[in-house]
Structure formats: structure tokens, C-alpha cells
Amino acid sequence: MSVFMRQATGKTTSVISFLALIIFLPLFIMVVGQTITLMSRAAGTPANIIVDTKSKLEVVKTDFYHAFAQGGEESTDMLASIVPDVKALKPKVIRLDHLYDHYDVVGKDANGLTFNWSKLDAVINTITSTGAKPVLALSYMPGAIAKDGNIIGPPNDWNEWALVVQKTIEHYSGKAERNMSGIYYEVWNEPDLAQFGGWKLGGEKSYLTLYRYAATGAGNAKNVNQFYLGGPVTTGLYKTWILGLVESGSRLDFFAWHSYLAEPERFATDQRNIIQWLLPYPNYTLLPKLITEFGFTGSKSTAYGSAYAAAHAAAVIRQLISGGPTYLFSFQLKDGPLQSDGTGWGLITHDDNGLRKKPRYHVYNFMDTMAGTRLLLTGEGSWVTGFATERDDVIRLLLVNFDANGSHSEQVPVQFNNLAPGSYKLRQRLLFGRDTTTTYEVTENSLATDIFMSAQNIAILELTKQQQP
Amino acid sequence: MGIGMKRVVIIVVSLLLFLAIPASVFLSMRSQELRKKAAPATTLTLTPASVTKAVNEDFTLEVRMDTAENQIVAVELNLTFDPTKLQAEWIHNGTMFPNILSSGTVGNGTVSIALGATNTTTPITGTGTVATIKFKALAPTSSPVSVRFSTDTFVGALNEGSTNALTSSIPSAVTITGSGASTLTPTPTPTGGIATTPSITLTPTLTPTGGASDSASPSGVTIDRPAKNASVITTQPTIQGTAPAGSTVTITVYSDPITVTVVADANGNWTYTLAQPLASGPHTVVVAAQDPNSGTSHTATLAFVVATGNENGASGSAVPVSGSAENTIILLGLGMLFIVSGSVIPLLWRRQV
């Protein structure tokens, strides 16, 4: 070292110091970042759940999360091979996009536009055979009318786009045709995304123009049942897009957007935000709100095949169980092809990968157990959240342990207050794990226990008072 | 144009401006009055208007609305309070607003919720309870602390556009006395030969038995009416429930203890209507009974609110929502006057020079 020090010039020392700084500074920043992350995670609040069994709130809705979306990774009837499995999910609505670029609906001849519904009808029939109503994303621009054949851009003639929308609504909502009622029609899919056109709120490629002509078409539809037209179906909830649509003056029956957010609390924040934005527009505040795709990331991820995705879905549903949207669509029902690496968004793997159900598939019906009147619950933590209900004299508590960053587990104290004295059976059911029942004797008005929540797990505790002999 | 003509034009323009200012003020005030007539005052009131509690005691406040003639579709409640003195435990919608638009949130010194009508074809009118909030008293206060609506509380009404239909709100004053009342330990005055000192505790006494048990404890007492945390609109509510048949039931109503005894009938039912009026605000009922057969004592407790709209002592806290334009118009007028003076007087001065 001393030899080096003697031989090194001041300039060499400076260069070496500079290089060392360049190399070690990013490492230092990374280490600091990791440390902060670990510290902040460690600083989270553990749950200490208290249920007031006599404080009854509103009736819990369970329909809103029985909504599913299917992307267009294949231009075929993707759901045809999984109808029984989809039916078992008791879907209320199933969303479909790529209407005009996958199913050869719109053509053009010397007399004008022609419409062939046969392929799309087959897909819609599959959806209705599961017990669900279709939600139709009016997308993308039919090749027959698209400017320069670009299906994610404007048409040559906006009136032709209006006519396409009119004919679509007349076909599915028309009393003389498919005669469906209460169908939601979304204008486009993720217009803000470059992949789907990168539309703006003004300029030559204005979503408001696209929407306005869609609304014109909807207005021209004759002899139709009640239907709903809405947007902006953006990749997230954006104030400028929501208010831009409101202030456009076009017909607007519902709001729709997508949410790919790892933090479940953000979903509740979005609900608060949109209501706050719409309060100065009283005629729009109460319109239905549809999150027509949701997940923890918009990218493909192997986590979609793990308990992580299941816990995330349950944690999001918990956040929206009170004051939530009209529908929350899980994206998506089935993986696309060539996703044997397990990165697909589907609840069920593709035909070429065994049509296997992934953990998230089991969440929806499991959570239906919670139907009933919501009870007051306090003491949710940073990772473990939940809600409680009462139905038919059975008190139920749902707990979900979702850790967006890792594998946090927790021993959760649980207390049921304001119980009548007597003998109670407490059943603990984990979605991925044990199912045990214990009997407790309650001599005062409270029952306390605890439950170990492993990482990314969901539990339902059922408390039933035993009848007197 | 000659100098004389220019001077005439300047004078005419100045006169027009001077006439225009009061005319504008007059028309604006007329417009404001018309708007006020079109949008009568919707008010929010926290009730009871004043509360006195001991440290660690819980209490509830009701948010009540009078829509006046407005047709309300949605309301966002944002309330603030001193977090060193009070802790909000929860907020929930009342019967007036069935539709929870975004769930209640409780923060450090804040509590909020957004509620709506079912749809715009059935807007909400009249008076009623918008929401109920439960608080815990944390520390003694030297003077009353207020729970009040923050200025971003918003009431949306049909035909009001983006105007906040809320014109005023009334806070609640909370006084917290020193510690010592963290638990309710009633000392009833039994008159029917029952010797029991019921104590209320949340400490569970559990005996896990690992299987079905046939050693169920005997049924105790219940308070079935009023409902827990319910608002009653009479100052002399009826309290009823069940107890072991034939047992003497001691009923104590706090915070100024009123103690009476009744006897449960052969079916175990008991009832009592208060003979003296209760003050407006939250109250707690403690019921104690002893099973005449087993000698076992039972207690039950329940909180309810007498909501008779006694807002005496409340200090009105107007939320500047619809607002008044008079001051702004006067200031604008003065500003214009100065601008005109600044433009015309130097011009006239130069001409004279």
C-alpha cells in the first residue's frame, strides 16, 4: 500500500477515487434503499382485530366481484373450452374487447357497410351460457373503415364509426334481434395506451371525438332495450379523462377504467377520488362505476399463478366491500397460448397448459361465504385486513394477509365483543390450509382467540352459538 | 379631434364607468339574492351540540342534515378535531343516505365519508341523520374542544351545478374531564331484594373445551330496545329486554344515574318507560338481574342517543360555500375606481400643464 501511495500521482489518485465513487455510489444508494424498505416494512402495524357483534352496518354486496374480463390473446372463442369452470364462478358479467378486429364483423361493399355477427355471436353465446351478461368494449376500429387500415386510429369517416356503434347496439340490445337488456358498452379499450392508439383528449386523435360519434350512434339506435354507454376505459383512473368526458356533454351512462395496482388501499383511494371529482357534477356523481380490468400489475407475472394473486384479489375486495364500484372485473379468465412459464394473467391456464385452475380462481366463491350484514370491525393492520358479517345467527370474519413486498406472516389476535353468554363453536377455515373447529364457553360478553396467518393467505372464522339443550 | 373634444370623450367615458360600477354592484347583488332563493340553505349539524365525557369514555355524535328545499344527491363529510384530545373510532352512514359512495376513513384528527342517494331520480330532501361517528375521549380539556366540519365538506344538489349546496354547519363542543371513569361501575339501588353490584368488563372469560359442550351457561339479560347506538327521538324512551323469568331487573341509565327496578314476567320479558326526561345526547343503560333459581347475576349494557335537536350553546360555524359576493364586488369596484383615477387624472393634469 505504501509503495502504491508513493508511486501514485495526485492525478491517478483522483481518477481512482472518481471511478470508485462511480462504482460504489449506486451500490450505496441501493443498499440504503433496501434498508429503508426493510425498515419501513418492519415498521408496519400488526393487526389486532375486534369485532363488535352487535354493531350492524350495511348489507354486504357480493355480486360486484363476480365480474371477469377476457382479453383477446386469441381471435377465437377462448371461453368455449372452460364453460363449466367459468359457470362455477357464478359470473354476473363478462367483458370482451377486440370486437371488431377478431370476429370479422364489419365489411364494406358498393352499397356501404355490411355486418356479419356470426363469429361474435358465437362468443357472446358462450358468455351467456355461463350465466353472465356480456360487457362489450367497442374496439378497435374495423379495418373496413379505418384510416390507412390502422385499427387503433380514427376512421376515414366518423359517421361510419357512429353507424358501427349503432348497429352493434341494435344487434345485441335490439328488441327484434338479441334482445338483451342492461348491456354495458364501453367506448374503446385503454385509449391512452400507445398499443391501443395513444388517444388524447384533443387534437387529431381525440378520444372525445371517438366517444362523441359513438354516442351519436348510440342515440340513433332504434327499438332497443335499456343499455349503458360509457368510458373512458383508461389504463388507470385519471381525473382529466373522467372530467373531460363529463364536460364533453356527450351521453354518459357509466364510468369505466382499469386498475393495476399492487397496493389494495389504492383501490379505495380511487373510489374516494372519483367521488370527490364528481361532487361538483351532481348529475354524474351517482353513475355506475366499473373497474373493467384489475390486477396487481399489468405485466405478465408468475405471481398470477401463486397465492399472491389470490391474496391480492381478496385484499382488494375487502377494500371495496363498502363504497365500492358497481363491478370489479378480474383480468382475466383464461391464459393466452404459449404461457406454460406461468406468467399469464388467467385464472385458468390455457388449453395447451392443461386448463388448470390457479389459486386466484378459488377466491370468489370462498368470499361469498361472507354474504350478510356487515359488522363493525376495528384493528386492521398493515398486512392483515378483513371485515365481518352476520347472517342466520352466524358471525363471520374474513381475514386476508397480503404482503405486496414479500412473505410477511402474523399471529393475529381476534376478539368478538358483545356476545351473549353461552357455548360457541368457532370454525377457522383457511383458503389454503387447515379447517378446524373449537368450542368456547363465553361467560361474559366477549370471546378472544388468535389465528396464525401465513403469508398471502385468506381465512374465514365462523362463530356459531350453540343451542341450549 | 381637438383637445376640447378629447376632454369631452374622457369625461363621458369616466362618467359611464362611474355609473357602470354601482349598476354592476346592484345587478350582482340581485343575482346573488336570486341564487339564494333558488338554493335555500342546506345545513349540517353535529348533535349533541355539547358533550361532557371522562377520559377513556366513548361517545357518539350524529351528523344531521336539513336539506331545506334542495334536492341532495351526494355529500362528502370531512370533519376535524384535536387528535390529542379525541380519537375517532369509526364513521358510518345514517338512515338518510343509504348509498355509501366511498367508505369511511378515520385519520389523526380527521374523519370522512362520502354518501349518496340511491339515484338521481330519488334525491334526498328533508331532515335526518347523515352519519354517526364514534369517539373516544383521550385527555382532559381545559376548555371545550370542537368537532367541526372542514371547509371541503361538500353537498351536491340537483340543479345547483358545481355550487356547494351547504351554506352553514354547526360543530359540537366536547369537554373532557379527568380520568377515573374509564370503566362503568354502576351502583344500582335495588328495591326488590336483589343484592348485586353489577360491573361491566370486557375481559373475556373463556373455557376452550375442544369439542361440543353441554355445559352452556344459563341465559342472561338482554336489552332489546332501543337498539345499540340507536337514536331515539323521545326524551323518555322505553327500554325493554329479557331476563330470567321472575327475576328483579335493575335498570340504571347514565350519565346522571336514574335507577329503577322491574320484574321480568313469566316469559322473561321486562319493559320500562322512563318517567323523567333524559337530556339530549348519548346515554348508557346498564341492566342487572339475578336468576331466582340459580342465584347467578347477569348484566348487560347498551349505549343510545337521545336526538331531540337541542342545539343550545352551539356556536355556528359557517362554511363559506355559497358565500357572499358583496365584499368582492366592492373591492373590484374600488379597484376600478383607482384604475380610472390613475388613468384620467394624470392625463388631465398633463393637458393643463
What's phi and psi for B317, nearest 5 deg? Answer: -120, 95
A417 and B CB contact within 8 Å: yes
Given a cut of 70, whether residue B7 has pLDDT beyond it is yes
pLDDT digit string, tens, across residues B106-124:
999 999 999 999 999 999 9
Give the pLDDT score at B1. Answer: 55
Question: How many C-beta neighbours within 10 Å does residue B224 have?
Answer: 14
Amino acid at B246: G
Which chain B residues in 27-56 lie under 8 Å from chain A, judged by CB atoms?
none
For the stretch A367-372, contacts whose Cβ atoms lie closer than 8 Å and that sit 24 or more positions apart, written own/partner, are: A367/A62, A367/A65, A367/A314, A367/A317, A367/A398, A367/A458, A368/A62, A368/A90, A369/A396, A369/A460, A369/A462, A370/A60, A370/A62, A370/A396, A370/A398, A370/A460, A371/A60, A371/A62, A372/A59, A372/A60, A372/A396
- Cell 340459580 -> residue: B294
Lowest-confidence segment of A405-419, A443-457, B136-150, B338-352 by average pLDDT? B338-352
Amino acid at B223: I
Q: Where is the domain boundary, A352, A368, A384?
A: A368
The answer on A168 and A137 residing in a single domain is yes
Give the pLDDT score at A452. Answer: 96
The answer on A114 and A27 residing in a single domain is no
Closest CA to A288 of B352, B101, B242, B277: B101
Q: Which cell numbers in the block locate residue B289?
A: 338481574
Give the pLDDT score at B194. Answer: 28
- Could you tell me which residues come within 8 angstroms of residue A249 by beta carbon, excluding any fewer than 6 positions away? none
pTM of the model: 0.72
Q: Where is the domain boundary, A368, A384, A410?
A: A368
Domains contained in chain A, number: 3
Given a cut of 80, whether residue B13 has pLDDT beyond it is no
The answer on A271 and A173 residing in a single domain is yes
**Domain-embedded: residue A459:** yes
pLDDT digit string, tens, across residues A86-110:
999 999 999 999 999 999 999 999 9
Q: Which cell numbers in the block locate residue A233?
A: 376505459
Which is it for strands B72-80 and B154-157: parallel, antiparallel or unpaired? antiparallel
**Domain-embedded: residue A40:** no
Question: How many C-beta neighbours within 10 Å does residue B22 have?
Answer: 10
Q: Looking at A321-388, list the stretches that DSSP marks H as alpha helix, in order from N- to C-terminal side.
A: 363-368
Q: Which cell numbers in the block locate residue A9?
A: 500521482
Given a cut of 70, whether residue A390 has pLDDT beyond it is yes
Given a cut of 60, whether residue B203 has pLDDT beyond it is no
Q: Which cell numbers in the block locate residue B348?
A: 388631465
Tell me the CA distances in angstroms from A49 to A161, A263, A387, B103, one per residue in order.
54, 21, 9, 18
The answer on A442 and A299 residing in a single domain is no
**Domain-embedded: residue A380:** yes
pLDDT, average across residues A189-217: 97
Q: Do A439 and B203 touch (CB under 8 A)?
A: no
Q: Where is the domain boundary, A334, A368, A402?
A: A368
Give the pLDDT score at A360. Answer: 98
The answer on A381 and A316 residing in a single domain is no
Residue to test with chain B: of A254, A281, A437, A444, most B Cβ within 10 A: A444
Give the pLDDT score at B41. Answer: 80
Q: Do B74 and A271 touch (CB under 8 A)?
A: no
Query: Which of residues A439 and B330 earns the better pLDDT score?
Result: A439
Which chain B residues in 87-106 lie under 8 Å from chain A, judged by CB atoms?
89-90, 92-93, 99-105
- What is the torsional sign of CA B41, B47, B48, B51? negative
Helix (H) or strand (E) holding A416: strand A410-417
- Could you tell me which residues come within 8 angstroms of residue A32 by beta carbon, excluding any fewer than 6 positions away? none
Closest CA to B155 of B62, B47, B78: B78
**Domain-embedded: residue A25:** yes
Lowest-confidence segment of A210-224, A376-390, B40-54 by average pLDDT? B40-54
Q: Which of A276, A283, A444 sits opposite B205 (nearest CB)?
A: A444
Which is it for strands A457-465 and A394-401: parallel, antiparallel or unpaired? antiparallel
Amino acid at A323: G
The answer on A158 and A301 residing in a single domain is yes
**Domain-embedded: residue A283:** yes
A446 and B CB contact within 8 Å: yes
Give the pLDDT score at B189. Answer: 29
Give the pLDDT score at B135. Answer: 95
The C-alpha atoms of residue B327 and residue B29 are separated, in whole angstroms, by 11
Give the pLDDT score at A468. Answer: 72
Which is it for strands A447-453 and A410-417: parallel, antiparallel or unpaired? antiparallel
pLDDT, average across residues B290-304: 67
Give the pLDDT score at A178. Answer: 98
pLDDT above 90 as % of chain B: 36
A439 and B CB contact within 8 Å: yes
pLDDT digit string, tens, across residues A49-96:
999 999 999 999 999 999 999 999 999 999 999 999 999 999 999 999
Closest CA to A218 of A189, A247, A183: A183
B121 and A CB contact within 8 Å: no
Q: What is the DSSP string of B146-184?
A: EEEE-TT-EEEETT-TTS--EEEEE-EEEEEE-SS-SS-
The C-alpha atoms of residue A199 and residue A197 are separated, in whole angstroms, by 5
Given a cut of 50, whether residue B200 has pLDDT beyond it is no
Give the pLDDT score at B55. Answer: 95
On average, the pLDDT of chain A sits at 93
Nearest residue of A to residue B77 by CA position? Answer: A276
Q: Which cell numbers in the block locate residue A124?
A: 357472446
pLDDT digit string, tens, across residues B331-351:
666 767 776 666 666 666 565
**Domain-embedded: residue A344:** yes
Query: Which of residues B322 and A187 earns the better pLDDT score?
Result: A187
Q: Which of B102, B202, B206 sits opposite A272 (nearest CB)?
A: B102
In which order are the strands placed within the sheet that holds A410-417? A435-442, A422-430, A457-465, A394-401, A384-391, A373-378, A49-59, A410-417, A447-453
Structural domain of A11: 2-32
Strands (E) across A26-121 are located at 49-59, 67-70, 93-96, 106-109, 112-115
Torsion region of A372: left, alpha or beta (phi above 0 gives left; psi -120 to 50 gives alpha): left
- Could you tell me which residues come within 8 angstroms of residue A162 by beta carbon, excluding any fewer than 6 positions away? A213, A214, A216, A217, A220
Tell me the CA distances in angstroms from B119 to A9, A282, A339, one per residue in order.
81, 10, 44
The answer on A233 and A126 residing in a single domain is yes
- Could you tell me which residues come within 8 angstroms of residue B202 by beta carbon, excluding any fewer than 6 positions away? A417, A444, A445, A446
pLDDT digit string, tens, across residues A352-371:
999 999 999 999 999 999 99
pLDDT above 70 as % of chain B: 64
* Secondary structure (H, E, C), B293-305: CCCCEEEEEEEEE
Q: Which of B160, B201, B213 sits opposite A444 (nearest CB)?
A: B201
Q: What is the DSSP string of B248-316?
A: EEEEEEETTTEEEEEE--TTSEEEEE-SSPPPSEEEEEEEEEE-TTT--EEEEEEEEEE-----TTPPP
The C-alpha atoms of residue B263 and residue B285 are separated, in whole angstroms, by 17
On average, the pLDDT of chain B sits at 74
The answer on A238 and A262 residing in a single domain is yes
Contact in structure between A402 and A311 (CB atoms under 8 Å): yes
The C-alpha atoms of residue B11 and residue B18 are separated, in whole angstroms, by 10
pLDDT digit string, tens, across residues A206-258:
999 999 999 999 999 999 999 999 999 999 999 999 999 999 999 999 999 99
What's phi and psi for A17, nearest 5 deg? Answer: -60, -40
**Domain-embedded: residue A37:** no
**Could you give the maximum distance between any two Cα atoms of chain B, in Å?**
117
Q: Do B120 and A286 touch (CB under 8 A)?
A: yes
Give the pLDDT score at B128. Answer: 96
A279 and B CB contact within 8 Å: yes
Range of A192-196, B15-19, B316-320 with top mean pLDDT: A192-196
The answer on A54 and A6 residing in a single domain is no
Q: Which residues pair with A386 in a beta bridge?
A: A399
Q: Do A58 and B100 touch (CB under 8 A)?
A: yes
Q: Do A378 and B89 touch (CB under 8 A)?
A: yes
**Domain-embedded: residue A120:** yes
Contact in structure between B96 and B124 (CB atoms under 8 Å): yes
pLDDT digit string, tens, across residues B146-192:
999 998 999 999 988 888 999 889 999 999 998 644 333 332 322 33
The answer on A395 and A430 residing in a single domain is yes
Contact in structure between A187 and A214 (CB atoms under 8 Å): yes
Q: Which of B104, B158, B214 sits opposite A282 (nearest CB)?
A: B158
The C-alpha atoms of residue A322 and residue A319 are separated, in whole angstroms, by 7
Q: Which residues pair with B156 in a beta bridge?
A: B74
Percent helix, strand and coil across chain A, each to the nearest 5: 35, 30, 35
The answer on A256 and A327 residing in a single domain is yes
Chains A & B: contacts with CB separation below 8 Å: 144
What's the complex ipTM? 0.85
Give the CATH number for residue A239. 3.20.20.80
pLDDT digit string, tens, across residues A110-141:
999 999 999 999 999 999 999 999 999 999 99
Give the pLDDT score at B262. Answer: 83
pLDDT, average across residues B256-282: 80
The answer on A290 and A276 residing in a single domain is yes
Give the CATH number for residue A377. 2.60.40.1500
Give the pLDDT score at A407. Answer: 82
Amino acid at A298: G
